[in-house]
Amino acid sequence: MGPTRLLSLAAWKGLLKLRHRWDVTVGNRLAEGRVREWRDAWLKEWGSDGAGAWLRRPGAGRLWVDVEQAQEWCRASCTADDLTLARQALEGVFDILGSGPVELGVTPRWRTDLYSGVEWPLDPADPSRLETSAGSDIRTVWELGRGYHFPALARAYHTTGDRRFADAFARHVESWIAQNPLGFGPNWLSPMDTAIRAANWALATVLFADCDTLPAPFWARLLGQLRLDARFIERYREWHPLYRGNHYVANGVGLVYVGGLFGDVREGRRWLVRGGRLLGGEILTQVLPDGVGFEASLAYHRLVTEFFTWGGEVLKRNRPGLWGPAQEERLRGMYAFIEAYTPASGEAPMMGDADDGRLHVLEARALHAPREHRRGLPPEMFPEGPPISRLYREGGFAVIRDGRDHCVVRCGPVGLRGAGSHDHNDQTSFELVADGERIIRDSGTYCYTRDLDARHWFRSTAAHSVVQIGTEEQNPIHVARPWRVLADRTRSRVVAWDPDPPGPEVIVEHTGFQHLPGSPVVRRSIRFDSATRSWTVGDEVLGEGVQEVTWRLQLELPPRSPRITGGSVEFHVGGSLIRVGFPGRMVAQFLDTWSSVRYGAREKRPVLVVKGFVPLPLEIRTDVGSAAHAPSSGGAGSRRQITGSG
């Protein structure tokens, strides 16, 4: 960053510290006093009519579902999974981020870590500090408090007529407020999570507003809490002069939702406009012209797509001038990218960080199927027609697809403008689906603060299907900096791209090891032959001298019938036959390594490792085809001449 941005950042951090010091000593008490006065005034005006009448008042703002539509929407969208989630919440049982079912009581203990059982204390919360606790993951506390289960409770109530679901909603809101006083404890450490919680509480207000069993004092407390939430989000926005990411977008969503409910009063109008300007500006900044989010993570691309979708819908109903054609076009591009990278199975690749976050859980199954990125997003936003092969040069991904065959390749700059908060060392890595069956996988994410060593490993070069020189990382990362890439050494680029039959092909390379003796450069070509329905992956390490080279292929399933000979290995994975040819000085072996298909859970899966001290340049070739139509083996790499960059 230049000196101007550094000064801006220092000034902003200084302001946050002053605000925090003021709020802990005086400001929060004053804010709570003002909210008590507001609640009393609200009860005098609306206590006899209730929340439904308040939402229908002249000049009231709107969310993306109206109170008049709430009952019909809940009944029409209710599924068996929603009813199961609602019944579990009724009993105080929560299964979040791979925790398995955890009993937290009919009145939940909202500061409990679901992995360790540790209850986080009510210390003064400083949103500018990262909190870690050995063996505990604060994300389970935050995720629990986001209110993901509220739409399921509303659906169950409107579908069955059982008032226990409405009572559980009220009990959860009241107990959360009681256990989490403003500015104290873990649930006030993250403005992003405050914003997501506020959005879900605002949505639940609309869905439950006409429930005649919920008394006016309850609604006054809930709405008063939303006012405190909006004040907190506004004061502690996660702004940065350069590295603004998904947290900042979430802040805007929270302000827009609360502003939508309070759009006829001064504070509500300010929250709506400030949040709207944030969203309208950040979608053109954080989403690149090709429609790819700039954080180099497919899961975070899906998350911010949801943020912009529902935040944008609230804006279009309340402040349409803040969400125009440019924003809508960029959002459509985001959906086109999701459609492209998602194979026919519906399970997205795991490239980059994946913490399984959502804005809402609009389909209860999404809690346990986080890789199904289409769930919870409006289907009409996705493009019509079959997806095609496409290079997303600015976003750093290439997609080759043909029917049931599908490959996604990572090939671009470090995300978040070089900060790499959610990057992995996965340049040139790929996930491969052959004839509808995932063959080559990414290792996933597993955790954040729960285990910083594990966090580091899942980001590392060794966790991906790439070449490694010695023990060097593609880009420098450090255990103590879990959300930073310390330098973009890879400068990954697309050398050539040809999407056309008979063989779509991409060639990519990076310079992450060029600082080593002999200046190694890694190059990979991936080609699909539509005639034989087979894939060829050619790896080259250019340079001079002798290097210790390790080549890894992360497998989705255990290999069958492996045959390892000097310079080659042949085996089956699912219905595919895989052949790998490599220099005779290298040794191949199958090992077990960690894989995480969802946040909070990990398991052992196979990896093929080929390793040895070899002179550069070297070549390794991998052929993948149907076991019934085995590809022919040969030299390493594709030699078809390709021009253009597409």
pLDDT in tens, 421-475: 999 999 999 999 999 999 999 999 999 999 999 999 999 999 999 999 999 999 9
As a whole number of angstroms, the distance between CA 371 and CA 619 comes to 34
- Residue span(s) of the chain under CATH 1.50.10.100 come to 3-381
Q: Is the pLDDT of residue 567 over 50?
A: yes
Nearest to 254 by CA among 290, 184, 200: 200
Type of residue found at 377? L
What pLDDT score does 629 carry? 54
Q: Is 278 helix (H, G, I), strand (E, B) or coil?
A: helix
Confidence of residue 638 (pLDDT cuts 50, 70, 90): very low
Residue 281 tokens read as: 């500006």
- Residue span(s) of the chain under CATH 2.70.98.70 come to 390-626
Q: pLDDT of 34-92, one tens digit each?
A: 999 999 999 999 999 999 999 999 989 899 999 999 999 999 999 999 999 999 999 99
Q: Are 223 and 46 in contact (CB under 8 A)?
A: no
Distances (CA, A) of 627 to 8, 396, 504, 578, 593: 60, 32, 22, 8, 25
State yes or no: cis peptide before 379, omega within 30 of 0: no
Q: Are 252 and 238 in contact (CB under 8 A)?
A: no
What pLDDT score does 36 carry? 97
Nearest to 62 by CA among 233, 259, 305, 312: 259
What is the percent of the chain with per-residue pLDDT over 90, rounded to a whole number? 88
Radius of gyration, CA atoms only, the chain: 26
Q: Is the pLDDT of residue 642 over 50?
A: no
As a whole number of angstroms, the distance between CA 292 and CA 352 comes to 13
Residue 250 tokens read as: 């979430």
N-term to C-term CA, the chain: 32
Q: Is the pLDDT of residue 480 over 80?
A: yes
As a whole number of angstroms, the distance between CA 193 and CA 201 comes to 12
Q: Is the pLDDT of residue 632 over 50?
A: no
> Which tops the pLDDT comparison, 565 or 8?
565
Q: What is the 3-state secondary structure (H, E, C) of 87-138?
A: HHHHCCEECCCCCCCEECCCCCCCCECCCCCCECCCCECCCCCCCCECCECH
| Fold designation for 3-381 | Glycosyltransferase (1.50.10)
Give the sign of the dihedral formed by CA 98, CA 104, CA 107, CA 110.
negative
What pLDDT score does 498 carry? 95
Q: What share of the chain is helix, strand, coil (3-state, %, to 5)?
A: 40, 20, 40
What pLDDT score does 208 carry? 98
Confidence of residue 646 (pLDDT cuts 50, 70, 90): very low
Nearest to 571 by CA among 555, 551, 550, 594: 555
Confidence of residue 503 (pLDDT cuts 50, 70, 90): confident
What pLDDT score does 5 carry? 83
Q: Is the pLDDT of residue 134 over 70?
A: no
What pLDDT score does 8 carry? 85
> Burial, 628: exposed, middle or buried (Cβ in 10 Å; 0-12, 13-18, 19+)?
exposed
Q: Is the pLDDT of residue 136 over 90?
A: no
What pLDDT score does 631 carry? 42
Residue 615 tokens read as: 């002179």
User: Alpha carbon 263 to chain centroid distance?
Assistant: 30
Residue corresponding to tokens 């671009």: 412
> Which tops the pLDDT comparison, 550 or 645?
550
CATH number for the region 390-626 comes to: 2.70.98.70
Q: Are 171 and 107 in contact (CB under 8 A)?
A: yes
Residue 174 tokens read as: 């009241």
> Burial, 184: exposed, middle or buried (Cβ in 10 Å; 0-12, 13-18, 19+)?
middle
What pLDDT score does 640 carry? 33
Within 10 A of 368 (CB to CB), how many other CB atoms are there?
13
Using the 8-state DSSP alphabet, how is residue 430 labeled? E
What pLDDT score does 289 carry? 97
> Burial, 572: exposed, middle or buried (Cβ in 10 Å; 0-12, 13-18, 19+)?
middle
Tell me which range, 2-16, 271-285, 625-639, is most confidently predicted by mean pLDDT: 271-285
What pLDDT score does 636 carry? 41
Confidence of residue 13 (pLDDT cuts 50, 70, 90): confident
Q: Are 433 and 350 in contact (CB under 8 A)?
A: no
Within 10 A of 390 (CB to CB), how many other CB atoms are there?
21
Q: pLDDT of 508-528, one tens digit each?
A: 999 999 999 999 999 999 999
Q: Is 508 helix (H, G, I), strand (E, B) or coil?
A: strand
Q: pLDDT of 575-624, one tens digit each?
A: 999 999 999 999 999 999 999 999 999 999 999 999 999 999 999 999 99
Using the 8-state DSSP alphabet, how is residue 546 labeled? E
